[in-house]
């Protein structure tokens, strides 16, 4: 019956409340699992000779039970928590901590959550809620692009959006020289974070303070 007209059918192959449909002309099967379902879903797909077409197999239809793995959604909201984000900003994802935690959201209770840098597995933890914290120790200084997956019913999700973090253990240095003299009565200003020359505020102020005598 190769090349002859056929009729496609597709129905549920299990008791899940999923919906299954098939395009009669192309045979394209669309199966929608129940909302939030993770696991395997069975669909029974059959093809048979269209009415009036010869059927050279003993069976009226050639059917197949197809197992579809429905994966959990990717985790969301990776974060370097404030407690692990050291330095002048606790939200810049630049830290000198080599023992730190990464928080992962959007996970299912009981999911195994894996944390990767690129394709390297850094750590994993089992979620006991919708967020999970993955501790990391002895982190080598450098730049990281962290992603996470969650595995539910032995089916692993896609990767989350990446969280870039920098682990920098090099102490900052002052690369400017503080002035050693100041005039009595003048406000003194020095920016240790700028390599520019120090200045005296009085030079910029029109209203000078009276000088002490």
What is the contact surface with Ca ion in residues (CB under 5 A)?
79-80, 85, 87, 89, 92, 94
**By C-beta, is 102 or 125 nearer to Ca ion?**
102
Cβ closest to Ca ion, residue 14 vs residue 92:
92
Three-point CA angle 19, 158, 150, nearest 5°: 95
Q: Identify each DSSP E strand in 71-119 by its residue range.
A: 76-79, 94-95, 100-105, 112-117
* Closer of 92 and 201 to Ca ion (Cβ): 92
**Going by DSSP bridges, is the β-strand pair 94-95/163-167 parallel, antiparallel, or unpaired?**
parallel
Smallest distance from Ca ion to CB 89, Å: 5
Q: How far apart are CB 78 and Ca ion at their closest, in Å?
A: 9
To Ca ion, the closest distance from the beta carbon of 150 in angstroms equals 20
DSSP 78: E
CB of 73 to Ca ion, least distance (A): 22
Smallest separation (angstroms) from Ca ion to the CB of 166:
9
Q: Please, which residue, 43 or 148, has the CB nearer to Ca ion? A: 148
In degrees and rounded to multiples of 5, residue 7 shows phi and psi of -120, 130
The helix (H) or strand (E) run that includes residue 202 is helix 201-204
State which residue, 41 or 85, has the beta carbon closest to Ca ion.
Answer: 85
Nearest residue to Ca ion, by Cβ distance, number only: 87
**What is the 3-state secondary structure of 118-156?**
CCEEEEEEECCCCCEEEEECCCCCEEEEEEEEEEECCEE
């Amino acid at each position: 019956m190769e090349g002859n007209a056929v009729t496609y059918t597709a129905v549920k192959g299990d008791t899940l409340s999923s919906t299954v449909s098939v395009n009669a002309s192309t045979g394209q099967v669309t199966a929608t699992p129940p909302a939030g379902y993770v696991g395997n879903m069975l669909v029974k797909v059959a093809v048979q000779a269209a009415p009036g077409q010869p059927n050279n197999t003993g069976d009226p239809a050639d059917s197949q039970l197809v197992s579809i793995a429905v994966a959990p959604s990717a985790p969301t909201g990776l974060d370097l928590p404030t407690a692990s984000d050291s330095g002048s900003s606790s939200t810049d994802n630049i830290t000198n901590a080599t023992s730190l935690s990464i928080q992962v959201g959007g996970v299912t209770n009981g999911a195994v959550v894996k944390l990767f840098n690129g394709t390297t597995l850094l750590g994993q933890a089992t979620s006991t809620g919708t967020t999970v914290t993955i501790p990391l120790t002895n982190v080598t200084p450098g730049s990281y692009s962290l992603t996470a997956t969650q595995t539910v019913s032995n089916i692993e999700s896609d990767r989350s959006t990446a969280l870039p973090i920098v682990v920098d253990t090099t102490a900052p240095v002052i690369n400017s020289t503080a002035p050693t003299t100041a005039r009595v009565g003048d406000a003194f200003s020095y920016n240790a974070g700028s390599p520019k020359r120090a200045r005296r505020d009085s030079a910029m102020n029109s209203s000078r303070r009276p000088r002490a005598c």
